[in-house]
Amino acid sequence: MNEGLQDGPAIEARGLVKRYGDEVVAVDGLDLSVPANRIYGLLGPNGAGKTTTISILTTLLEPTGGEAKVLGLDVVKQAGDVRQRVGVTFQEMVLDDELTGRQVLDYHGRLYRIGKAERKAKTEELLALVELREAAERKAKTYSGGMKRRLELARALMTTPEVLFLDEPTLGLDPQTRARIWDYLRALKEEGGMTLLLTTHYMNEAEELADTVGIIDRGKLVVEGAPQELIEQMGADTIHVIGDGERDAFVEKVRTLPFVQTVDVGRTVIQVGVDSGSKRLVEIVSQATGNAFEIEDITVSKPSLGDVFLKYTGRRLRDTDSPQTQHRMLLMS
Amino acid sequence: MAATATLWSKQMRKFLASPEEMFGLLIQPILWVVLFGVGMKSMLSAGMPGGGEPYVAFMLPGIVVLSALSGAIGGGSVWLTERLRGIVKEYLVAPIPRLSILMGNALSTMTKSMFQAIIVLVVGVILGARLSPNPVGWLGGLVLVAGFGLGFSGIALSMASQTDNPGAYHAMIMVLNLPLLFLSNALYPLATMPTWMRIGSLLNPATYTIDGLRQMMFRDPSALAGGDPLPLWLCWGAVLAFAALGMWLAYAAFRKSIK
């Protein structure tokens, strides 16, 4: 462990750019600073540049522009040192599934030149942590999706990384398995000594786990903060209005109401932050009657990170996707 | 070195844990020797082209080389699968030299080719081929085959690094595979070939491997070669140069694929 690095951020990116050819800009001037020993959640829709960012930070891809440092080490010039000290799980399942669970962990440790005794101890410890002891002698191809994910997590932890990158760690998993993975990650945080950067497009995952959330859209960081702070900015309650007609006139009138704290106009949804949703609902509706604006749908809710996302990107982040659509997206990405 | 050994050991363990793959790998060269060798022998009258030696002895080095070829194609397939399934990313984020990743694959392919070569020779001897009395020659022969296997593994790995389509990979590699076998001295002696074919064969690293094998491993090599054998130093030089070229091609293609 390098004590000197405790002061600086564990992960730092400045003006990071990744272009593919002339057309595609996957990361577009990303600035990122993750303090040590924290969990940072990079939240964004598919195609926002999350995976590309992780690929650059883990030295898999070289950036087109800008620079990135992990533990104070340049990811291009000191790639070898970065590799030695970070761990990663990829978005898709990456397992040599002809090997048994124990062999997967053991070979991974050997690649990092961990001594035999330490490898053995670590393997046992991690198999216990991710509750795969009983399946350890079975080939990984017989594992369920959740078991494979847990094995991948254990593999990433084999080398006791100082920074752990998790790209969509619970994508496509059932709710129970997701909750279990969250438990492991929380336990890791409790233990300390490790910085975690995870990407997700599940709002609740970011809310549950992250100390800091960064919302990334079209390759840029649009807003950053503790989940609760971001949510509190939205007002006590949020009223979502969907309607047809003179939207602008309606929005103008709503803005002038004294109890309205924020108004964010998305492509389809207008979000109004108010002091008390149930009390103000009628007054909001009444603003529409005088205008050529017809309300089709109106709901009141406690604000969530989803509302924060909508506010900053103008788009909804679908966090209620069925596992099937997620799977399709995974295949397409 | 350590990383190469680790990746080699992983591939070997997977191989030893797969009875189907072992069976296929061992049976294929035996079938070649028995079916092709025996068939040809009954067709050819004694004394040609082996000059007193049975045809089986003449064609054994060719079968050894052919096995090394198919082994290398299999190694390329493994590599393509690992690339497509993202397993290569696990190697790439590890603090290991890039070349060691390729070497792990190529050396495991070579190891399998050694097994095959030994089986081919044993079956050949059972069928009447006579080996040279000098065990150093046998060892030299195996090293020569390993060099050839390394070179062709490199070519297969470079092709498997340049495509994302297993069908395209197999189509491309078969185009190379056929002339490497038939445009060589594997099945017929250089001396009896038409000139254009002899020129083609002399450009083929398989020819030097096979000629070197005949000289080091078998009795009465000049008769087996059906004329004057190629100088042994030239055989070694050509095969080692081919091994280096193959691995360089693989490395260059791999570097390009991870940019």
- β-strand pairing of A65-70 with A73-74: antiparallel
A86 vs B: CB within 8 A: yes
Q: What is the pLDDT of residue A204?
A: 85
- Rounded Cα gap, residues B149 and B130, in angstroms: 24
Domains of chain B by residue range = 18-257
> Which of A86, A90, A110 faces B89 most closely, judged by CB atoms?
A90
A88 contacts in B (CB within 8 Å)?
Answer: 93
Q: What is the pLDDT of residue B72?
A: 92
Percent of chain B at pLDDT above 90?
A: 51
> Which of A88, A92, A98 faces B93 most closely, judged by CB atoms?
A88
Q: What is the pLDDT of residue A283?
A: 83
Alpha-carbon dihedral of residues A301, A302, A308, A314, nearest 10 degrees?
10
Asked if residue A249 lies in contact with residue A293, where contact means CB atoms within 8 angstroms, the answer is yes
Asked if pLDDT for residue A296 goes beyond 60, the answer is yes
Asked if residue A86 lies in contact with residue A163, where contact means CB atoms within 8 angstroms, the answer is yes
CATH class of the domain whose range is A235-302:
alpha beta
Mean predicted confidence (pLDDT) in A35-58: 91
Answer whether A60 sits within 8 Å of B85, measured CB to CB: no
What would the pLDDT profile of A61-107 be if each residue is shown by its tens digit? 999 999 999 999 999 999 999 999 999 999 999 999 899 999 999 99
B94 contacts in A (CB within 8 Å)?
Answer: 83, 108, 111-112
Asked if residue A308 lies in contact with residue A215, where contact means CB atoms within 8 angstroms, the answer is yes
Q: What is the pLDDT of residue B111?
A: 92
Which two three-digit tokens encode residue B229? 């054998």
Mean predicted confidence (pLDDT) in A317-330: 41
What would the pLDDT profile of B56-95 be if each residue is shown by its tens digit? 788 889 999 999 998 999 999 999 999 999 999 999 999 9
What would the pLDDT profile of B209-242 be if each residue is shown by its tens digit? 999 998 898 876 655 556 678 889 999 999 999 9
Residue A197 backbone dihedrals phi, psi, to 5 degrees: -115, 120
Most confident of A231-235, B144-148, B175-179: B144-148
Q: What is the pLDDT of residue A27?
A: 92
Asked if residue A94 lies in contact with residue A152, where contact means CB atoms within 8 angstroms, the answer is yes
Percent of chain B at pLDDT above 70?
A: 92
Q: How far is CA A12 from CA A8, A67, A78, A312, B198, in A?
A: 9, 8, 14, 23, 62
Topology at the third CATH level for domain A3-229: Rossmann fold (3.40.50)
B258 contacts in A (CB within 8 Å)?
Answer: 60
> Which of A93, A103, A111 faces B96 most closely, judged by CB atoms?
A111
Q: How far is B162 from chain A (nearest CA, A)?
A: 17
Asked if pLDDT for residue B48 goes beyond 70, the answer is no
Model confidence at B186, pLDDT cuts 50, 70, 90, reads: confident
Asked if pLDDT for residue B51 goes beyond 70, the answer is no
Domains of chain A by residue range = 3-229, 235-302
What would the pLDDT profile of B97-129 be if each residue is shown by its tens digit? 999 999 999 999 999 988 888 998 898 888 888
CA B165-B96-A195 angle, to 5 degrees, is: 100
Answer whether A90 sits within 8 Å of B92, measured CB to CB: no
B134 vs A: CB within 8 A: no
Q: Residue B21, CB half-sphere, CA atoms under 13 Å: how many?
A: 17
Asked if pLDDT for residue B45 goes beyond 60, the answer is no
A84 vs B: CB within 8 A: yes
Mean predicted confidence (pLDDT) in A174-199: 89
Answer whether A94 sits within 8 Å of B17, measured CB to CB: no
- Number of other CB atoms surrounding residue A19 within 10 Å: 15
| Burial classification of residue A177, based on how many CB atoms lie within 10 Å of its CB (0-12 exposed, 13-18 middle, 19 or more buried) | middle
- Rounded Cα gap, residues A205 and A192, in angstroms: 20
Percent of chain A at pLDDT above 70?
A: 92
Asked if residue A316 lies in contact with residue A306, where contact means CB atoms within 8 angstroms, the answer is yes
Which two three-digit tokens encode residue B133? 């009395």
When mean pLDDT is compared across A37-41, A150-154, A246-250, B227-231, the lowest value belongs to B227-231
Mean pLDDT estimate for chain B? 88
| Burial classification of residue A330, based on how many CB atoms lie within 10 Å of its CB (0-12 exposed, 13-18 middle, 19 or more buried) | middle
Model confidence at A327, pLDDT cuts 50, 70, 90, reads: very low
Q: What is the pLDDT of residue A326?
A: 38
Q: What is the pLDDT of residue B229?
A: 80
Q: Residue B41, CB half-sphere, CA atoms under 13 Å: how many?
A: 20
- Residues whose CB falls within 8 Å of the CB of residue B202, separated by 6 or more in sequence, listed in order: B190
Model confidence at B49, pLDDT cuts 50, 70, 90, reads: low
Which two three-digit tokens encode residue A131? 């509750």
- Residue A32's H or E segment, with its range, is strand A24-34
> Which of A60, A93, A112 faces B92 most closely, judged by CB atoms?
A60
Q: Which of residues 43-82 of B touch A (CB under 8 A)?
A: 82
Q: Residue A311, CB half-sphere, CA atoms under 13 Å: how many?
A: 23
Asked if pLDDT for residue A143 goes beyond 80, the answer is yes
What would the pLDDT profile of A4-38 be if each residue is shown by its tens digit? 445 689 999 999 999 988 888 899 999 999 999 99
Q: Residue B45, CB half-sphere, CA atoms under 13 Å: how many?
A: 0
Alpha-carbon dihedral of residues B96, B102, B108, B111, nearest 10 degrees?
-120
Q: How far is B116 from chain A (nearest CA, A)?
A: 23
- Residue A41's H or E segment, with its range, is strand A39-43
Q: Residue A314, CB half-sphere, CA atoms under 13 Å: how many?
A: 4
- Rounded Cα gap, residues A142 and A97, in angstroms: 8
Answer whether B95 sits within 8 Å of A92, measured CB to CB: no
Asked if residue B232 lies in contact with residue B84, where contact means CB atoms within 8 angstroms, the answer is no
Q: How far is CA B196 from CA A287, B183, B190, B201, in A?
A: 92, 10, 11, 9
Which residue(s) pair with A11 in the sheet? A34, A70
Model confidence at A320, pLDDT cuts 50, 70, 90, reads: very low
Question: B49 preceded by cis ω (within 30°)?
Answer: yes
A71 contacts in B (CB within 8 Å)?
Answer: none
Q: What is the pLDDT of residue A4?
A: 44
Percent of chain A at pLDDT above 90?
A: 47
Beta strands in chain B (DSSP E): none
> Which of A58, A99, A107 faces B93 most closely, judged by CB atoms?
A58
Closest CA to B69 of B200, B234, B210: B210
Mean predicted confidence (pLDDT) in B175-203: 88
Answer whether B18 sits within 8 Å of A98, measured CB to CB: yes
Residue B229 backbone dihedrals phi, psi, to 5 degrees: -70, 160
Helix B2-16, helix B98-126: angle, nearest 10: 50
- Residue A81's H or E segment, with its range, is helix A79-85
